[in-house]
């Protein structure tokens, strides 16, 4: 046993454990084992009912949370297992607001604390009222939204923009909510200058081109998609369904599926943390496209759940999410990430990577399934990575042709490497014995 972001070891109970439990509750939840030394040695502890009741009362009275407390036997000794779940809001400890980082408890950054205090008061940033009134509404944006929302809001009346926004919860009294500003104001960046989107083209670390896009979230989405069509490569496939001019059908295949990119940009726009300063950044390089936005995953959602067909849908900005839903651009059921994965698979691309780090979230679309970084992450040896690179260059090769690139390595070793790559589904083998040739799976 080793301490981690979700595990704390204590030889005996002291009120110092309250700090760890508060940090767990403010982060991803966690477990505190009482009766285990820091080095993992199980020494046991007092586990009678009086002791359990005393610990439970201390936690409830000083932290205001109700943990799970159980007695378990480890290595023939009884220990106390205290488990806490992550909470919406924040748990203070002696006037401090702590979060768990690795095995250390740290003070919560101010912007994160502000967001969590909003959650504690059952409010969200997008639902707060702004200083702007209905005179800032852009009627054209309302008209365009009405066109999109006809199926889900058949009674919508674009000629009455104030009433429309009131029905959507975006106009409270005579003030636009923050969501109302981002969606329907004439110039949202006058109030929220960080609510913008940036797209850059890179070659290595060299910036080839950079564009910033402002306006409403609808305008930023459309601008991003237009930019993708300008800078990404496209292949045209012609299919003949009938021996006539009308029977010729042309299908576009982009470097990355545009629908998947659209889904990812929408997610960034509506789920980003608008209390954190920083814009949405899209970085396009030779082998990948990355969409980065401020704010990690909402509490209660883990990275691994994003690949599951059914995972929790906990919108950080529910008014933005609901309005995009009415516009027919998203579903309520957390299907966006699985749809992105399916679209990439259908085009023969690697599954996109979802990365949460330093309070931000990133989706990485990969053009090439055979990048050295990805192969190393799969556990391939350096020689196997080089064999893949050789096959990319030659298209196909025999064992002898590959072995000549590694004169210090025997033919049998190269054969074992190739067999391992075939077993992993990265390489195909065709032909018999000396005529056998190897090629990458496409």
Mean pLDDT score, 114-135: 84
User: Rounded distance, CA 202 to CA 41, Å?
Assistant: 51
Residue 195 has pLDDT above 90, yes or no: yes
Mean pLDDT score, 245-250: 56
Going by C-alpha positions, the residue among 74, 4, 65 that lies closest to residue 32 is: 4
Q: Please tell me whether the overall predicted TM-score, pTM, comes out greater than 0.85 for this model.
A: no
Give the tens place of pLDDT for each residue, 337-364: 889 999 988 887 888 999 988 778 999 9
User: Rounded distance, CA 133 to CA 100, Å?
Assistant: 41
- Kindly report the backbone phi and psi dihedral angles of residue 421, in degrees, each rounded to the nearest multiple of 5, phi listed first: -70, -35
Residue 313 has pLDDT above 80, yes or no: no
| Residue 160 near residue 175, CB atoms below 8 Å | no
Q: Could you tell me where the DSSP H helices lie in 130-250?
A: 139-149, 161-167, 178-184, 217-231
Give the tens place of pLDDT for each residue, 207-229: 999 999 999 999 999 999 999 99
Beta bridge pairs of residue 364:
290, 353
HSE toward the beta carbon, residue 48, CA cutoff 13 A = 1
Tell me the helices (H) and strands (E) count for the chain, helix number first. 14, 20
What residues does each domain of the chain span?
Answer: 7-120, 125-190, 197-366, 372-440
Going by C-alpha positions, the residue among 100, 79, 105 that lies closest to residue 1 is: 79
Mean pLDDT score, 73-90: 91
Inter-residue long-range contacts of 253-259, CB under 8 Å, 24+ positions, other chains counted: 253/347, 254/228, 255/289, 255/367, 256/232, 256/289, 256/344, 256/347, 256/349, 256/365, 256/367, 257/343, 257/344, 257/346, 257/347, 257/349, 258/225, 258/228, 258/229, 259/339, 259/343
Residue 74 CB-density burial (10 A; 0-12 exposed, 13-18 middle, 19+ buried): middle
Q: Which tokens go with 407?
A: 């004169």
Residue 202 has pLDDT above 90, yes or no: yes
Residue 245 has pLDDT above 60, yes or no: no
Q: What CATH number labels 197-366?
A: 3.30.565.60
Mean pLDDT score, 248-265: 86
| Domain 372-440 = CATH 3.40.50.970 | no
Q: Which tokens go with 246?
A: 């009308």
The superfamily (CATH) of domain 7-120 is Schlafen, AAA domain (3.30.950.30)
How large a percentage of the chain has pLDDT more than 90?
58
Give buried/exposed letters for 332-353 (b at 16+ CB in 10 A, else e).
eebbbbbbbbbbbeeeebbebe
Q: Compute the C-alpha angle 438/440/442, nearest 5°.
A: 135
Give the tens place of pLDDT for each residue, 4-32: 999 999 999 999 999 999 999 998 899 99
- Which of 17-26, 104-113, 297-306 is least confident? 297-306
When the pLDDT of each residue in the chain is averaged and rounded to a whole number, the result is 89
């Amino acid at each position: 046993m080793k301490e981690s972001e979700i595990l704390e070891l204590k030889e005996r109970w002291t009120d110092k454990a309250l700090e760890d439990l508060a940090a767990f509750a403010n982060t991803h939840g966690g477990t505190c084992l009482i009766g285990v030394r820091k080095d993992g040695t199980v020494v046991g502890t007092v586990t009678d009912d009086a002791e359990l009741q005393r610990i439970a009362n201390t936690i409830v009275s000083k932290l205001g949370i109700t943990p799970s407390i159980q007695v378990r036997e480890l290595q023939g000794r009884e220990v106390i297992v205290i488990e806490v779940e992550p909470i919406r809001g924040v748990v203070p400890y002696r006037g401090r607001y702590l979060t768990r980082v690795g095995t250390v408890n740290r003070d919560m950054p101010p912007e994160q604390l502000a967001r969590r205090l909003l959650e504690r008061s059952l409010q969200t940033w997008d639902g707060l009222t702004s200083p702007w009134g209905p005179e800032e509404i852009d009627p054209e944006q309302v008209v365009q939204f009405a066109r999109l929302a006809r199926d889900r809001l058949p009674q919508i009346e674009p000629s009455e923009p104030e009433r429309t926004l009131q029905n959507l919860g975006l106009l409270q009294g005579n003030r636009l909510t923050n969501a109302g500003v981002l969606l329907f104001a004439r110039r949202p960046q006058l109030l929220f200058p960080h609510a913008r989107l940036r797209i850059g083209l890179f070659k290595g670390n060299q910036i080839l081109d950079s564009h910033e896009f402002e306006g409403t979230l609808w305008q930023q989405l459309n601008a991003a998609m237009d930019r993708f069509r300008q800078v990404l490569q496209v292949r045209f496939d012609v299919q003949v369904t009938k021996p006539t001019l009308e029977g010729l059908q042309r299908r576009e295949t982009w470097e990355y599926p545009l629908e998947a990119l659209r889904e990812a940009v929408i997610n960034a726009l509506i789920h980003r943390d608008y209390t954190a300063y920083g814009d949405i950044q899209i970085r396009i390089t030779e082998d990948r496209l990355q969409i980065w936005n401020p704010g990690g995953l909402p509490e209660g959602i883990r990275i691994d759940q994003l690949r599951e067909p059914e995972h929790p849908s906990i919108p950080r900005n529910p008014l933005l999410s609901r309005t995009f839903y009415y516009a027919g651009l998203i579903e309520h059921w957390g299907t966006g990430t699985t749809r992105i994965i399916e679209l990439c698979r259908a085009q023969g691309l690697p599954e996109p990577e979802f990365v949460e780090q330093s309070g931000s979230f990133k989706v990485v679309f990969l053009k090439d399934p055979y990048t050295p970084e990805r192969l190393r992450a799969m556990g391939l040896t350096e020689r196997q990575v080089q064999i893949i690179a050789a096959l990319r260059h030659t298209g196909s090769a025999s064992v002898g042709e590959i072995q000549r690139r590694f004169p210090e390595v025997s033919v049998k070793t190269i054969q074992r490497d190739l067999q391992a790559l075939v077993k992993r589904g990265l390489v195909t083998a065709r032909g018999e014995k000396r005529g056998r040739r190897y090629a990458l799976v496409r």
